[in-house]
Amino acid sequence: MVLDNDRYVLSGGVDPLQLIEEYGCPLYVYDSAIIQRQYKRMENAMKVKRLQLNYACKALSNINILKLFRKMGSGLDTVSVQEVSIGIRAGFDPQDIIFTPNCVSLEEIEEAVEYGVKINIDNTSILEQFGQAFPDTPVCIRINPHIMAGANAKTSVGHIDSKFGISFHQMPLVHRIVEATGLKVEGVHMHTGSDILDPEVFLSGAEILLNIAKEFPDLDYIDFGSGFKVAYKPGDVETDIEELGSRISERFNKFCEEYGKDLKLMFEPGKFMVSEAGYFFAQVNVIKQTTSTVFAGVDSGLNHFIRPMFYNAYHKITNISRPKGKARFYTVVGYICETDTFGINRQMTELQEGDFICMHNAGAYCFSMASNYNSRYRPAEVLVHEGQAYLIRKRENMEDLLRTQVEAPIFDEVPAVK
Ligand SMILES: *Cc1c(COP(=O)(O)O)cnc(C)c1O
């Protein structure tokens, strides 16, 4: 979104205020041009013979977004059999989908096998059971390289106490299981979690994975997961994808030479692909001045947008109703009966009740984490593509809220007249 004279516009000149008028508020809007730009950047950064980028669709799982990725040539990274199912429905070839669950049942993995997708296993118990049940289905093994990515314990999943992956110290057990069951290992994988700031950390994890890869003679791919960071505020460090790409490609190509085969290099970015493409619009209901603070209370809350509260994430906030004006400070809060602060002491142009604000970087882990808490409807989603806006999810209504509720025939008797 850029400021064009006196108004904010999305790509193709689309006016967000018009979208709000048409589709209501609060509203999620995604700009496909930004998703395409990010995909191309990553694709161009990796200079290898065989590359597959598997979009981690838990970040933003609307089927239209999945179709956009399919059109760009992307694969899909999925963490539940429901995501697998949506991916198939979006037209992905099953072999372009990888199923990377954690702590799911063998039954769920069996369902994924029936879909024909790639299977990634992250614990030795399931590996053994899987090997006995499906010795002929090739698998990928998720390794925990024990590195700490970023400082956030909620998003770092590759450290020693993490529940994810098989510790690389357990490789003797993995080999014993593979030998005993006759399993074919076609890939090795690591995913260290979000927020990789330092290519060095990423490369040292990669080194561990490559060492393990050497021990498996029949590999087809090596999957380095994700963890690519994007900038949320000015001055934020984002993963230098061009630098990282050139270094990892060089290392990977050298490895393939030693291994004697052109393996496929895989990544599974979520946030990097869609974060910046998303905008979340809300309306200011109340300006409330207390003794210490000026609050701007909006028609949304942690039910629609939980990242600031759950991860302490910073999301830039803009007053789009008044692009020009004097700057004031506001603490932007939601309408949920919990502390749901979007941003503390944020400077923006003077807000009035009824104004619309935009929260930026709302593409990844925003709508997909939305709930119906406080019996609120989840918002509509709009995709802006080549200058056109498309409604890709309707706002919920009371029928949606009640659809799965069953009114048991016990409380409906007519009250007795006294
Ligand atoms: C969530 C997830 C990703 C995507 O992580 P981002 O930080 O959004 O890029 C990739 N791989 C796996 C296995 C995941 O669970």
Question: What is the average per-residue pLDDT within 160-180?
Answer: 91
Q: What is the pLDDT of residues 286-314, one digit of tens each?
A: 999 999 999 999 999 999 999 999 999 99
Q: What is the pLDDT of residues 34-68, one digit of tens each?
A: 999 999 999 999 999 999 999 999 999 999 999 99
- Ligand 1 pocket check for 77: Cβ under 6 Å: yes
pLDDT cut 70: percent of the chain above it: 96
Give the pTM: 0.95
Please report whether residue 370 resides in a domain: yes
Looking at the fold, whether 207 and 169 belong to one and the same domain comes out as: yes
- Ligand 1 pocket check for 66: Cβ under 6 Å: no
Is 311 annotated in some ligand binding site? yes
Please report whether residue 412 resides in a domain: no
Q: What is the pLDDT of residues 340-390, one digit of tens each?
A: 999 999 999 999 999 999 999 999 999 999 999 999 999 999 999 999 999
Looking at the fold, whether 51 and 16 belong to one and the same domain comes out as: no
pLDDT of 5 > 90? The answer is no
Q: Of 229, 245, 274, which residue is a domain's last?
A: 274
Looking at the fold, whether 268 and 335 belong to one and the same domain comes out as: no
Looking at the fold, whether 193 and 176 belong to one and the same domain comes out as: yes
Ligand 1, residues 42, 52, 57, 58: which to mutate, most atoms within 8 A of Cβ? 58
Ligand 1, residues 103, 140, 226: which to mutate, most atoms within 8 A of Cβ? 226
Looking at the fold, whether 55 and 184 belong to one and the same domain comes out as: yes
Looking at the fold, whether 267 and 279 belong to one and the same domain comes out as: no
**Ramachandran region of residue 374, left (φ > 0), alpha (ψ -120 to 50) or beta?**
left
Looking at the fold, whether 66 and 136 belong to one and the same domain comes out as: yes
Question: What is the average per-residue pLDDT within 59-87?
Answer: 98
- Report which ligand 1 atom has the smallest distance to the Cα of 120: 13
- Residue 329 belongs to a domain with what CATH number? 2.40.37.10
| Average pLDDT in the chain | 94
Please report whether residue 92 resides in a domain: yes
Give residue 401's pLDDT: 97
Is 307 annotated in some ligand binding site? yes
Please report whether residue 415 resides in a domain: no
Token pair for 310: 């759950």
**Catalytic residue list contains 337:** yes
- Ligand 1 pocket check for 75: Cβ under 6 Å: no
- Ligand 1 pocket check for 155: Cβ under 6 Å: no
Give residue 158's pLDDT: 62
Structure confidence at residue 154 as a pLDDT band (50, 70, 90) = low
Ligand 1, residues 119, 190, 191, 196: which to mutate, most atoms within 8 A of Cβ? 191
**Cβ neighbours around 321 below 10 Å, total:** 20
Token pair for 158: 């590759």
Q: Of 250, 274, 298, which residue is a domain's last?
A: 274
- Report which ligand 1 atom has the smallest distance to the Cα of 142: 13
Please report whether residue 404 resides in a domain: no
Number of domains forming the structure of the chain = 2
- Ligand 1 pocket check for 228: Cβ under 6 Å: yes
- Ligand 1 pocket check for 83: Cβ under 6 Å: no
Give residue 198's pLDDT: 79
For residue 337, how far is its CA from the centre of ligand 1 (angstroms)?
31
Is 279 annotated in some ligand binding site? no
For residue 266, how far is its CA from the centre of ligand 1 (angstroms)?
13
Looking at the fold, whether 319 and 295 belong to one and the same domain comes out as: yes
Q: Of 228, 246, 274, which residue is a domain's last?
A: 274
- Residue 140 belongs to a domain with what CATH number? 3.20.20.10
Is 365 annotated in some ligand binding site? yes
Structure confidence at residue 155 as a pLDDT band (50, 70, 90) = low
- Ligand 1 pocket check for 120: Cβ under 6 Å: no
Is 176 annotated in some ligand binding site? no
- Name the phi and psi angles at 324, rounded to 5: -120, 145
- Ligand 1 pocket check for 191: Cβ under 6 Å: yes
Domain interval for residue 82: 32-274
- Report which ligand 1 atom has the smallest distance to the Cα of 269: 9
Looking at the fold, whether 286 and 354 belong to one and the same domain comes out as: yes
For residue 272, how far is its CA from the centre of ligand 1 (angstroms)?
10
For residue 227, how far is its CA from the centre of ligand 1 (angstroms)?
7
Give residue 199's pLDDT: 82
Please report whether residue 417 resides in a domain: no
Structure confidence at residue 146 as a pLDDT band (50, 70, 90) = confident
Question: What is the average per-residue pLDDT within 105-132?
Answer: 97
Asked if 323 contacts 349 with a C-beta cutoff of 8 angstroms, the reply is yes
Ligand 1, residues 192, 194, 361: which to mutate, most atoms within 8 A of Cβ? 194
Catalytic choice (25, 103, 140, 337)? 337
Q: What is the pLDDT of residues 205-240, one digit of tens each?
A: 899 999 999 999 999 999 999 989 899 988 888 889
- Ligand 1 pocket check for 270: Cβ under 6 Å: yes
Give residue 215's pLDDT: 96
